[in-house]
Amino acid sequence: MRASLERTGGFAGMRLTSTADTDKLAPEEAKELRQLVEAADFFRLPPTIASQANQPDRFQYKLTVEDDQRTHTVMVGEAAIPPRVRPLAEWLTQYARRR
Protein backbone atom coordinates (compact mmCIF):
# COMPACT_ATOMS: atom_id res chain seq x y z
CA MET A 1 0.00 0.00 0.00
CA ARG A 2 1.15 3.50 -0.79
CA ALA A 3 -0.08 6.66 0.91
CA SER A 4 0.84 10.13 -0.22
CA LEU A 5 0.28 13.68 0.91
CA GLU A 6 0.51 17.01 -0.86
CA ARG A 7 0.18 20.03 1.39
CA THR A 8 -0.09 23.45 -0.23
CA GLY A 9 -1.10 26.93 0.90
CA GLY A 10 -0.39 28.20 4.39
CA PHE A 11 1.18 31.56 5.19
CA ALA A 12 4.41 30.53 3.46
CA GLY A 13 2.65 29.06 0.40
CA MET A 14 5.19 26.23 0.25
CA ARG A 15 4.55 22.77 -1.13
CA LEU A 16 5.18 19.75 1.08
CA THR A 17 4.91 16.25 -0.35
CA SER A 18 5.54 12.71 0.84
CA THR A 19 4.82 9.17 -0.26
CA ALA A 20 5.07 6.26 2.15
CA ASP A 21 5.16 2.71 0.78
CA THR A 22 4.41 -0.11 3.23
CA ASP A 23 6.80 -2.38 1.25
CA LYS A 24 9.67 -0.04 2.11
CA LEU A 25 8.76 0.87 5.67
CA ALA A 26 9.88 -0.91 8.81
CA PRO A 27 7.23 -3.53 9.78
CA GLU A 28 5.93 -1.55 12.78
CA GLU A 29 5.64 1.61 10.70
CA ALA A 30 3.87 -0.21 7.89
CA LYS A 31 1.41 -1.59 10.41
CA GLU A 32 0.88 1.86 11.90
CA LEU A 33 0.18 3.38 8.48
CA ARG A 34 -2.32 0.64 7.56
CA GLN A 35 -4.12 1.23 10.84
CA LEU A 36 -4.32 4.97 10.21
CA VAL A 37 -5.77 4.43 6.73
CA GLU A 38 -8.28 2.01 8.17
CA ALA A 39 -9.21 4.31 11.06
CA ALA A 40 -9.82 7.10 8.57
CA ASP A 41 -12.17 4.81 6.62
CA PHE A 42 -10.27 6.35 3.77
CA PHE A 43 -11.84 4.64 0.75
CA ARG A 44 -15.29 5.79 1.81
CA LEU A 45 -14.37 9.46 2.11
CA PRO A 46 -15.75 11.78 -0.57
CA PRO A 47 -13.15 12.98 -3.13
CA THR A 48 -13.62 16.58 -2.01
CA ILE A 49 -14.51 17.68 1.50
CA ALA A 50 -15.73 21.22 1.01
CA SER A 51 -14.94 24.02 3.39
CA GLN A 52 -17.82 26.28 4.31
CA ALA A 53 -15.54 29.25 4.70
CA ASN A 54 -12.15 29.74 3.07
CA GLN A 55 -9.98 30.75 5.98
CA PRO A 56 -6.93 32.77 4.97
CA ASP A 57 -3.50 31.12 5.21
CA ARG A 58 -4.74 27.65 6.05
CA PHE A 59 -3.26 24.52 4.51
CA GLN A 60 -4.87 22.54 1.70
CA TYR A 61 -4.37 18.76 1.71
CA LYS A 62 -4.49 16.22 -1.10
CA LEU A 63 -4.29 12.68 0.25
CA THR A 64 -4.00 9.59 -1.96
CA VAL A 65 -4.00 5.91 -0.95
CA GLU A 66 -3.30 3.08 -3.38
CA ASP A 67 -3.54 -0.59 -2.53
CA ASP A 68 -3.77 -3.74 -4.68
CA GLN A 69 -7.07 -3.00 -6.30
CA ARG A 70 -7.94 0.58 -5.76
CA THR A 71 -6.75 4.18 -5.63
CA HIS A 72 -8.57 6.98 -3.88
CA THR A 73 -7.78 10.70 -3.57
CA VAL A 74 -9.29 13.14 -1.10
CA MET A 75 -8.94 16.92 -1.21
CA VAL A 76 -9.64 18.77 2.01
CA GLY A 77 -8.88 22.11 3.66
CA GLU A 78 -7.22 22.12 7.06
CA ALA A 79 -10.24 23.59 8.87
CA ALA A 80 -12.58 20.92 7.46
CA ILE A 81 -10.40 17.85 7.99
CA PRO A 82 -12.47 15.15 9.76
CA PRO A 83 -11.05 14.12 13.17
CA ARG A 84 -10.62 10.51 12.05
CA VAL A 85 -8.48 11.60 9.05
CA ARG A 86 -6.28 14.02 10.95
CA PRO A 87 -3.87 11.42 12.42
CA LEU A 88 -3.12 10.08 8.91
CA ALA A 89 -2.40 13.58 7.61
CA GLU A 90 -0.18 14.27 10.62
CA TRP A 91 1.71 11.00 10.18
CA LEU A 92 2.42 11.77 6.51
CA THR A 93 3.45 15.34 7.37
CA GLN A 94 5.99 14.01 9.88
CA TYR A 95 7.16 11.48 7.30
CA ALA A 96 7.76 14.29 4.79
CA ARG A 97 9.97 16.15 7.25
CA ARG A 98 12.07 13.11 8.01
CA ARG A 99 13.48 12.60 4.56
Partner 1 sequence: MSAISQGAFDGGSGHSCNSGNPHCTHHRHAICFIIPPIMLRNIAEKGDEEQRTLAFHTLAASERFRGQREVLSALGIVKSLGSPGEKLRTIYDAKRGTTLPGRLVRSEGKKATKDQAVNEAYDGSGATYDFYSEVYERNSIDDRGFRLDSTVHYDRDYDNAFWNGTQMVYGDGDGQIFQRFTRSIDVIAHELTHGVTEFEAGLEYQDQPGALNESFSDVFGSLVKQWVRKETAEQANWIIGEGLFTSRVKGIGIRSMKAPGTAYDDPLLGQDPQPAHMKDYYGGAEDNGGVHINSGIPNRAFYLAATAIGGYAWEKAGKIWYIALRDRLRSTAQFVDAAKVTMAVAGDLFGLKSKEMKAVRGAWQKVGVIK
Q: Provide the binding-site residues for partner 1, judged by CB under 8 A.
A: 8-15, 51-60, 79-80, 94, 97
Q: Which H or E run contains 84?
A: none
Min separation Cβ 7 and Zn ion, Å: 16
Using the contact rule CB under 5 A, the part of the chain among 31-39, 48-56, 59-67, 79-87 near Zn ion is: 48-56
Q: Residue 39 or residue 79: which is nearer to partner 1 going by CB?
A: 79
What's the min distance (Å) between Cβ of 17 and Zn ion? 22
> Are 1 and 37 within 8 A, CB to CB?
yes
Residue spans of beta strands (DSSP E) within the chain: 2-9, 16-21, 48-49, 59-66, 71-77
- Residue 54, CA atoms < 13 Å, CB-side half-sphere: 2
CB of 25 to partner 1, least distance (A): 21
